[in-house]
Amino acid sequence: MIKTVDISDMKISEDEKDILVTYSLGSCVGITLYDPVTKIGSLIHCMLPLSRVDREKAKKNPFMFVDTGLSQQLQEMYNRGARKKNIIAKVAGGAKLLDKKNLFRIGERNYTVVRKLLWKNDILIKAQDVGESKSRTVRLYMDTGITTVRYRGEEVEL
């Protein structure tokens, strides 16, 4: 069953029939985490890098921000039985869209926070498709743990 991850949202699954998908990753980042031993996987779609810009919004929706959202995503994976040593992390998005003068660098900052937070948790990024100026669709296939990125009609495995 296809489970859509909206903007500022996260889904987690242990059902091999599920496909987690998020659309329109521009400057936002999509992060898939998958434990191939327990077959637990999750996908998050974060808009902004740091929750300190609006603590109230972060309390209401931690998935809006990379720092609070990714931390909660990891915790929910662990709560379901995933083991840190098994987790495979993949990242997509972080594009340079609507920022032609490169003032805000939201995509770049989102990706930087993802890298730092995963590094602090001893999790390395196995694959990524970040930057440039393209919008992506990301899928996590729960039966195999494969993450794909779709751009302009072409879907490739990360």
Residue located via tokens 């669709």: 137
Q: Which domain covers residue 96, as residue numbers?
A: 2-157
When divided into structural domains, the chain yields a total of 1
Provide the 3-class DSSP secondary structure of residue 106: helix
Are 136 and 93 in contact by the 8 Å Cβ rule? The answer is: yes
How far is the C-alpha of 50 from the C-alpha of 53, rounded, in Å? 7
Return the CATH number at 107.
3.30.1330.200
How far is the C-alpha of 154 from the C-alpha of 14, rounded, in Å? 27
- pLDDT tens column, 75-133: 999 999 999 999 999 999 999 876 555 557 899 999 999 999 999 999 999 999 999 88
Are 33 and 89 in contact by the 8 Å Cβ rule? The answer is: yes
The predicted pLDDT at position 53 comes to 85
- pLDDT tens column, 68-88: 999 999 999 999 999 999 999
CA 116 vs CA 17, 23, 123, 124: distances in Å? 32, 24, 10, 10
Q: Span 36-53, mean pLDDT?
A: 96
Question: Distance from CA of residue 27 to its chain's centroid?
Answer: 12
The predicted pLDDT at position 69 comes to 97
